[in-house]
């Protein structure tokens, strides 16, 4: 049986980008690949690479856990857990730090972006983050890792680290394949379509839709999304970046072809198009929010997380015991 592993970091509220680039893909894969096992987690250890308010962090961790299920993942087929509840993740992360070079970490775009913004309080864990991410994946021998486009580079480094380990110590870790969706892998900011829609970006809330936004807010944000003065509905990411992003969102959220949507609206105008897009998003998010509300305080969610922790823990414990032996740590 093949195993699919992926995670989401609880920094900021989940956005439409997280839904279309990641969670919706997990749900689709689960429906399509029946003989696959799904290990999905909340990457809470990753969140503390930047300063977090403890009470808010704890709330967001549960929010994400509930969202996985509310978005349609099958609780019977999903091993859902919190990264911090499996200590072997961090233990392997350290071993992998010892198998990755400073130069490789320095080349990570996400890290370089932070440096470029001249952020002064960059922690050492933010720098070594990709080693922990690699551990999250290879500890469970993931065959596939569904992610959005921005995680591609981290996945490539994960493969490099796994291969390096296997070459030196002998075949041990499965080398994972990334799964990046064809549509929706990079949803852009609604106000600045040059940059990725991001949950950590608190500067301009009009730029992103969160999965918790109410219907009126969603419609308002779509109506005020940046477009252009060309005024013609066509898919032209070069010259009509904002519109291309909205078309991508429309296609991805309705599972339709971009060109099919262009065809429908080619004689229409931005106002009508945006109204319909707003409605399409609301139609998908409203039932998700309702399910989330019921789940968040339920014992059911706690039971799912307990079960997930136990299954993931069992795998991680055995794998790590073997891994330490391979590396030569301990007494025997
Ligand atoms: P994170 O929490 O930033 O994002 C979670 C998932 O959402 C995708 N995503 C997007 N997709 C399309 N458009 C966007 N604007 C957009 N923004 C985010 C991301 O690509 C990701 O798939 N390092 C990871 C979390 C992580 C992880 C892992 C993922 C930790 N360990 C192991 C996979 C496997 C992160 O920060 O994702």
Kindly report the protein residue whose alpha carbon is nearest to atom 9 of ligand 1: 18
Give the tens place of pLDDT for each residue, 98-130. 999 999 999 999 888 888 876 778 899 999 999
Q: pTM higher than 0.85, yes or no?
A: yes
Q: Which residues line ligand 1 (CB under 6 A)?
A: 5-9, 17-18, 20-22, 43, 46, 133, 136-137, 145, 147-148, 150-151, 185-187, 196-197
Query: Counting atoms of ligand 1 from 1, which one is nearest the CA of 46?
Result: 30
- What's the rounded mean pLDDT across residues 31-59? 96
Report the pLDDT value the prediction gives residue 152, as an integer from 0 to 100: 97
Q: Which domains are delineated in the chain?
A: 2-181+298-327 (3.40.50.620), 205-293 (1.10.240.10)
Residue 200, both tokens: 């950590």
Going by their DSSP bridges, the two strands 144-146 and 78-82 should be labelled as unpaired
User: How big is the chain, counted in residues?
Assistant: 332
d(CA 6, ligand 1 centre) in Å: 8
- Answer yes or no: 152 catalytic: no
Residue 180 clears pLDDT 90, i.e. is over it: yes
pLDDT at 117: 79
Quote the pLDDT of residue 118: 67
Q: What is the pLDDT of residues 207-250, one digit of tens each?
A: 999 999 999 999 999 999 999 999 999 999 999 999 999 999 99
Residue 110: the pLDDT is: 86
How remote is the CA of residue 154 from the centroid of ligand 1, in Å? 10
Residue 114 a catalytic site member: yes
- CB-neighbour burial class of residue 241 (10 A; exposed 0-12, middle 13-18, buried 19+): middle
Is 319 tagged catalytic? no
In the reported structure, the alpha carbon of residue 281 is separated from the centroid of ligand 1 by a whole-number distance in angstroms of 21
Ligand 1, atom 22, residue with closest C-alpha: 147
Share of the chain above pLDDT 90, in %: 92
Mean model confidence pLDDT for the chain: 96
Percentage of residues in the chain with pLDDT exceeding 70?
99
Q: b/e for 279-294, b at 16 or more Cβ within 10 A?
A: ebbbebbeebbebbee
Residue whose Cα lies nearest atom 18 of ligand 1: it is: 18
Query: 134-158 pLDDT, tens per residue?
Result: 999 999 999 999 999 999 999 999 9
């Amino acid at each position: 049986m093949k195993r699919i592993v992926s995670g989401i970091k609880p920094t900021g509220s989940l956005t439409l980008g997280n839904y279309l680039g990641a969670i919706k893909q997990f749900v689709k894969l689960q429906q399509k690949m029946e003989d696959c096992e799904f290990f999905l987690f909340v990457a809470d250890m990753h969140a503390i690479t930047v300063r977090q308010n403890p009470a808010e962090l704890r709330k967001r961790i549960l929010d994400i856990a509930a969202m996985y299920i509310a978005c349609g993942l099958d609780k019977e087929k999903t091993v859902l857990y919190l990264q911090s509840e499996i200590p072997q993740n961090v233990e392997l992360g350290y071993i992998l730090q010892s198998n990755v070079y400073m130069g490789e970490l320095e080349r990570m775009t996400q890290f370089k972006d932070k440096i470029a913004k001249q952020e002064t309080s960059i922690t050492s864990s933010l720098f070594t983050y990709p080693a922990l991410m690699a551990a999250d994946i290879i500890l469970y021998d993931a065959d596939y890792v569904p992610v959005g486009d921005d995680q591609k580079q981290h996945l490539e480094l994960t493969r490099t680290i796994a291969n390096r380990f296997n070459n030196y110590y002998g075949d041990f870790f499965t080398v994972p394949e990334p799964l990046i969706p064809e549509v929706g892998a990079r949803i852009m900011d609604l106000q600045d379509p040059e940059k990725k829609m991001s949950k950590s970006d608190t500067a301009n809330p009009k730029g992103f839709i969160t999965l918790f936004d109410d219907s009126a807010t969603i419609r308002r944000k779509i109506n005020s999304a940046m477009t252009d003065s060309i005024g013609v509905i066509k898919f032209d990411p070069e010259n009509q970046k904002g519109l291309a992003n909205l078309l991508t969102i429309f296609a991805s959220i309705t599972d339709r072809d971009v060109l099919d949507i262009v065809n429908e609206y080619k004689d229409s105008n931005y106002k009508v198009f945006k109204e319909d897009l707003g409605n399409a998003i609301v139609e998908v998010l409203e039932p998700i929010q309702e399910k989330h509300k019921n789940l968040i305080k339920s014992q059911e969610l706690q039971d799912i997380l307990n079960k997930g922790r136990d299954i993931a823990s069992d795998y991680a414990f055995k794998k790590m015991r073997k891994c330490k032996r391979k590396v030569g740590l301990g007494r025997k």
